[in-house]
Amino acid sequence: MKSEPVFKNAIVRPPTPNFADGLTTAGLGAPDFARALEQHGRYAGALAHHGVAVVTAAPDAAFPDATFVEDVAVMTPGGAVLMRPGAKSRAGEVASLRSTIASCVPIAGAIEAPGSVDGGDVCAAGETFFIGLSSRTDEEGARQLGEILARQGFAVRIADVRRADGLLHLKSGMAWLGGRRLLAVDALARDPAFEGYERVTVPDDETYAANAVAIGGRVLLAGGFLKTRRAVEAAGLEVVALDMSEFQKMDGGLSCLSLRF
């Protein structure tokens, strides 16, 4: 099993013109669709530039949040585990993306009612998976996913995202940087689930920057968060900054925009 964040493939899905109709609590105004599309293209381009084979799924205007593909599945060495999103308006996204996922990897399982899990609440960290309990992921869903992961030989740790005010998902507040090192906001880093891990701390006024994507010794980081960037660079990692302004308006971050495997 990998001790560094290395992946060779990613599934992405561009936003649709009704992107602004999606779910959000950010209070930052409506996103500009043209700018969101441009930012999404740069994101996919950054992945490709750093050696990732990018599969682009067809947009689906039936689901304004469908560009946030990470919530639909959790990718494991045994295949994809299909999630059961906690927001009712997003339930159909799993079926909408299933054929694309199945064309890339086997389907290894699925979360079943009454459990719910958003993929944004699941962080793979080498031999360990962190699962966050949140407004979108409940105890039953976490139990089901934990059992599937345990059968594949992974350790599972449960964190309570609900204790950290303002975080929608686990990965709204943390990212795995490799080894036993995490990028995390302070409120989340104090959770007992992260005991034994070194934390690169995200300042309270830059919480959004905690949602990052690491590829080996490189980190895709939301642009404009200079204190977090300096902290990541001080940890010996190269930063690739990307403008994420339009996705931030819709409660989305860098990790949300791809399924990586």
Amino acid in the structure at residue 193: A
**Distance between CA atoms of 22 and 136, rounded to whole angstroms?**
15
Would you call 147 helix, strand, or coil by DSSP? Answer: helix
- Name the residue among 99, 42, 91, 43 with its Cα closest to residue 71: 91
Half-sphere exposure of 89 (CA within 13 A, CB side): 10
Q: 165 or 140: whose pLDDT is higher?
A: 140
Annotated catalytic residue within 40, 50, 104, 169: 169
Active site residue 123: no
**In the prediction, which pLDDT does 2 show?**
56
Query: Which residues share a beta bridge with 199?
Result: 182
Active site residue 49: no
Q: Evaluate whether 50 touches 99 at the Cβ level (below 8 Å).
A: no
Model pTM score: 0.96
**Distance between CA atoms of 202 and 214, rounded to whole angstroms?**
15
Tens of pLDDT, residues 20-47: 999 999 999 999 999 999 999 999 999 9
Task: Report whether pLDDT(1) > 50.
Answer: no
